[in-house]
Amino acid sequence: MLRLTILAAALGLAGAVVPLTANAHSAAELYQDCSDSHGSGPRIACLSYLHGLMDGLMAANVLAGDRTVFRYCPPRGELSVSELRLIFVNRVATHQDKLTTDAGLFLAEALMDSFACPPEM
């Protein structure tokens, strides 16, 4: 319990340091980065963002305890960042109307749609 309290305090302090003008990365902005040539700065930024997102989704689920926040069930368990990039790029092609959405929410939806978990009994 002490760990959660310390984590909450650290997150609160970090939130106080972040400028209020920070904007969320949109799906369209992330798509531009992810579409850049292999090994470029924007492509590396894309892969870094995706890696951080996966870590964040996992942490959200752990911190939620029994209430899973982002529920998706990939067939082999863990996804690679390259696989997540392909899922994202494919979703952009079929959901052009949602490109102003926050990139993290866009990707979380993509994962939940692509890898729907079986209903719990």
25: nearest Cα among 57, 55, 48, 58? 48
33: nearest Cα among 22, 45, 25? 45
**What average pLDDT does the structure give for the chain?**
78
pLDDT of residue 24: 72
**Mean pLDDT throughout 108-112?**
89
| Higher-scoring residue by pLDDT: 59, 6 | 59
37 pLDDT more than 90: no
Model confidence over 1-13: pLDDT tens digits? 445 444 444 445 4
pTM beyond 0.95: no
89: nearest Cα among 79, 99, 101? 99
The answer to which of 1-5, 28-32, 46-50, 70-74 has the lowest mean pLDDT is 1-5
pLDDT of residue 66: 65
Q: Residue 4 and residue 1: Cα distance in Å, rounded?
A: 5
Banded model confidence at residue 17, pLDDT cuts 50, 70, 90: very low
